[in-house]
Amino acid sequence: MTTLGTHAAVAATTVTKAGFGKLPDGTTAEIYTLKNADIEVGITNYGARVVTIKTKDRDGKVGDVALGYNSVEGYVVEGTAKTYFGAIVGRYGNRIRGGKFTIDGHEYQIPPNNNGNALHGGPHGFDDLVWTGKELPNGAEMSLVSKDGDMGFPGTLTLHVLYTLVGDSLHINYKATTDKTTVVNVTNHTYFNLAGDGSGPILPEVMQINADQYTPIDAGLIPVGGAQPVKGTPFDFNTPTVIGARINDANEQLKLAGGYDHNWILRGKAGELKVAAKVVDPKTGRVLTISTTEPGVQFYSGNFVDGSYTGKTGTKYEKYAGFCLETQHYPDSPNQPEFPSTLLKPGETLHSTTVFAFSVQK
C-alpha cells in the first residue's frame, strides 16, 4: 500500500492545430482542437469562432451542440447576411443607435449595417478578421489589434480572448487595452442546439435566466424606456420554461423581434462570476449552464436564421435552429448613460469572463 495520498486524475487536455480551408486572400485558416475526456471544442482564427462543441448526452453519446460550417469558406460566403456563428463580436457587440456616439464632445460614426444602426461592430467587425492564434497547454489564445479608426472606433484596441477547457467547461477570458478612450462590448456569438447541430428547432429546450428585468426594444431592436420587470410577461424565465411555450404570444416585444432577441439584466454584481442562464434539452438530457462577469445577456432565439445556409451536418439552418446567450453590456450603452458604462480608457484593462459548462440530467 502506498503512503502517498491518491489524487483524482485531472482530465488532461490536448490541443492540436490544423488547416481549416482557404481565406479569400489564399492563406490557410487555422482550427485549434481542444479535447479532454468530457468535451471537444474547435476554434478557428477567422473571427476567433467556436466551430464545434462536442459533448455527451445522458447515454454517453457524443454530439456537436454548436452551429457552424466544416471549413472557413462557409463563414466567408455568408457575406452581408451574417449569422455570426460562434464569433467573437466587437468592437461593440450588439447595437448602437444610428452607429453614432460621442466621447468627450467628439462624435464618432460607425457605418450602419442593420436597419440604420450599427450591429456587432459594423459591416466588418471582429467576426470578419483573421486573429493571431496560439496554442496553450489547456486551450488557445486568439489575439487582435484593431487600429485607431477601425470601423470608425477611436483608439488602437488590443484584445486577447483565451479559450480554455476546465473539466466539462469552456472558459472564455477577455482582456483588452486601448491607447485612446473608446467603447468596448465583446461577446461570443455561439448558436447552441443542445439536441445536436442540425437536429431542428430549439423550441422544446427549457430555458432559465436569472433576471428580474430586461430592456424592451423599439422596431430597430434598440432598448427604449430603460429596464422593465419581466414578471407577468413571456420574458420571465426565472422558473425554467420551454423556449417555445410563449414565443408566439400576442406580445408586442416578441412581435418586434420575431421571437426572443432582448437583453436581460442579470441578478448579482457585475464583475463577479454568477450563473446567468441554464438550458436543458429534455430529449438528450444535455444541460448548459452559463456563468459570466457581465451585467447582461442577450437571449436570441435565432429568429432571423432563414434557411439560406447549410451547416456542418448538411442540413439547412431554419428559423430557431439554435439559440444564442450573448453575455454582454447592454445594447446602445454608449448613448444610454443610465446603463453600465462601456468606456475603456488608456491605462485601464478590461477583464471579462464567461463560462459554458456542460452536464447531463437523467
Q: Where along the sequence are the contacts to ligand BGC (CB under 6 A)?
A: 82-84, 221, 261, 298, 300, 304, 324, 326
> Which residues, other chains included, contact 9 with Cβ-Cβ below 8 Å and sequence gap of 6+?
none
Is 7 marked active-site?
no
Rounded least distance, CB 95 to ligand BGC, Å: 7
> Which residues, other chains included, contact 38 with Cβ-Cβ below 8 Å and sequence gap of 6+?
11, 55, 56, 165, 167, 168, 358
The two most distant CA atoms of the chain are separated, in Å, by: 73
Q: Which of 189, 205, 294, 329 is catalytic?
A: 189
Q: Which DSSP helix (H) or strand (E) runs through 74?
A: helix 72-77
Q: Name which of 178 and 327 has its Cβ closer to ligand BGC.
A: 327
Which 3 state secondary structure label does DSSP give 132? strand
**Residue 135 has which C-alpha cell?**
496554442
Q: Name which of 45 and 298 has its Cβ closer to ligand BGC.
A: 298
**Contact between 263 and 330 (Cβ < 8 Å):** yes
Q: Which of 40, 205, 294, 326 is catalytic?
A: 326
Residue 193 burial by CB count (10 A; 0-12/13-18/19+): exposed, middle or buried?
Answer: buried
Rounded least distance, CB 323 to ligand BGC, Å: 11
Rounded least distance, CB 4 to ligand BGC, Å: 51
Instruction: Return the closest-CA partner of residue 129 out of 113, 110, 142, 112.
Output: 142
C-alpha of 289 from chain center: 14
Q: In angstroms, how far is the first alpha carbon of the chain from the final one?
A: 37
Q: Which residue is nearest to ligand BGC (CB)?
A: 304
**Residue 28 has which C-alpha cell?**
490557410
**Contact between 313 and 74 (Cβ < 8 Å):** no
**Contact between 72 and 23 (Cβ < 8 Å):** yes
Rounded least distance, CB 327 to ligand BGC, Å: 12
Q: Is the torsion defined by CA of 143, 149, 153, 154 positive or negative?
A: positive
Rounded least distance, CB 187 to ligand BGC, Å: 8
Residue 78 burial by CB count (10 A; 0-12/13-18/19+): exposed, middle or buried?
Answer: middle
Q: Tell me how many degrees the CA angle 78-80-107 measures, rounded to the nearest 5.
A: 140
Rounded least distance, CB 83 to ligand BGC, Å: 6
Burial track 153-184 (b if 16+ CB lie within 10 A, e otherwise): bbbbbebbbbbbbbebbbbbbbbbbbebebbb
Rounded least distance, CB 118 to ligand BGC, Å: 12
Is 73 marked active-site?
no
Provide the annotated active-site residues.
Answer: 189, 326
